[in-house]
Amino acid sequence: MEKIKWCINKMPKDGDERLSIMSLENVGKAQNFHRSFPQYSITPLASLKGMAERLGVNNILVKDESYRFGLNAFKVLGGSFAMAKYIAGELGKDVSGLDYDYLISDALKKDFGQAVFFTATDGNHGRGVAWAAKRLGQRAVVHMPKGSTKMRFDNIAAEGAKVTIEEVNYDECVRIAAREAAETDHGVIVQDTAWEGYEDIPSWIMQGYGTMAGEAAEQLRSVKVNRPTHIFVQAGVGSLAAAVVGYFANLYPDAPPKFIIMEAQAADCLYRGAEAGDGSIRTVGGDLNTIMAGLACGEPNTIGWSILKNHAAVFLSCPDWTAARGMRMLSSPVKGDPRVISGESGAVGMGVLAAIMEDEDYAELKNALELNKFSDILMFSTEGDTDPERYEKIVWKGEY
């Protein structure tokens, strides 16, 4: 069985100017925007006390995003807020003045008209963009990489978007979407990866993800956890990871938690950058074959990379079995713990934590992270069973 690879972060720090993107003020604006949606509700924070006792830690707390806006994943938070920020900018307004009611009104149609929002996706982000575009009277075009499942394609198409599956990987789909947006009147690319000349919208998407982190911070108090000692967060391009890390680094500036960044081994560009140790970005090419479809990204978000290299404690390169193991553990919890239905990209944290705590092969990593009976661990199950057929094969039939 393939092993988890890990690398302690020893990269040189930079000026950390990107951290302000995830300031409490910026995240507060995103939270207020999302609260204006009639579909908004706070997603659960599952307290797995029984699992924590079994693994030898104090608390395991799992933010369950399978309840988000009825879309079974967190991604809609980023796309919807980025759209609102873009529209606000076009109108010369602050996003604080744009709520859901205005964005679906005739006044918005008169003031702004209609844009075409382009994106590339492995599933959840594209569905979120399509969902938001449909409700806000906008249009969406979504490109998916080869190997994308019919279920995820159908879910996006059902929201009224134009959807294609391309014979290229995710990163090439991003380039297709960017090119088409540039060639389209009132075309806008809404992508959570950043590159030179394209940083505003990815920053806004990250701020949108901050709603999830902000909710979790408030919910921690209800389980009498003042501050998590460790936060496990998964990464594709690194936008989600940097959003979570950036928010909590701002929330606890004097005593931040240890941040553990987890990637699919087939697309471990952040891990490779950390392993090189010079602070420069590394990329991964090819088909990026992994069951963690939402993490199958080989080119880091430049904004996210800056935050992560300044604040992450360790980077992990995770084989597919870690996600599968996490899915099974969360779906069949210790007696008394709540069940969490977590998809392939959402469950890797649970699988990784179990391996670190139970397998002697990772004793050095366990000690380096100071994981013990006093540890209060927060992780994010970012999707539910967004591909039910694959979920059943893994959880019921034991794949991987």
Is the same domain home to 188 and 165?
A: yes
Sort 199 into a burial class: Cβ within 10 Å, 0-12 / 13-18 / 19+: middle
- Same domain for 206 and 195: no
Catalytic residue among 29, 63, 122, 309: 122
Catalytic residue at 122?
Answer: yes
Question: Domain of 96: which CATH number?
Answer: 3.40.50.1100
Q: Describe the chain by its helix, strand, coil percentages, rounded to 5.
A: 50, 15, 35
pLDDT of residue 156: 95
Q: Considering 167, 199, 231, which residue would you say is the last residue of a domain?
A: 199
Same-domain status, 243 and 337: yes
Q: Are residues 65 and 81 in the same domain?
A: no
Task: Answer yes or no: do 99 and 130 share one domain.
Answer: yes
Mark which of 163, 178, 199 sits at the end of a domain.
199
Task: Say how far residue 248 (Cα) sits from the centre of its chain.
Answer: 15
Q: Are residues 10 and 89 in the same domain?
A: no
Q: Which residues contact 110 (CB under 8 A, 6 or more apart)?
A: none
For position 227, what pLDDT does the model report?
A: 97
Q: Please report whether residue 96 resides in a domain.
A: yes
Regarding whether 150 and 210 lie in a shared domain, the answer is: no
| Cα–Cα dist 27/220, whole Å | 17
SS3 123: coil
**Predicted pLDDT at 196:** 87
Q: Whose CA is closest to 61, among 297, 248, 228?
A: 228
The structural domain count of the chain equals 2
Catalytic residue list contains 385: no
Task: Please indicate, yes or no, whether residues 288 and 363 belong to a single structural domain of this protein.
Answer: yes
Q: Is residue 243 part of a domain?
A: yes
Domain boundary among 143, 171, 199: 199
263 and 157, same structural domain?
A: no
Low-confidence ranges of the chain (pLDDT < 50): none
Same domain, 162 and 239: no
In this structure, are 249 and 390 located in the same domain? yes
| Residue 350 and residue 224 share a domain | yes
> Does residue 400 form part of some domain?
no
3-state secondary structure of 198: strand
| pTM (two decimals) | 0.96
Cβ neighbours of 299 (radius 10 Å): 22
Question: Does residue 67 lie within any of the structural domains?
Answer: yes
- Among the listed residues 75, 85, 258, 366, the single catalytic one is 75
The domain of 157 spans 76-199
In a domain, 374, yes or no: yes
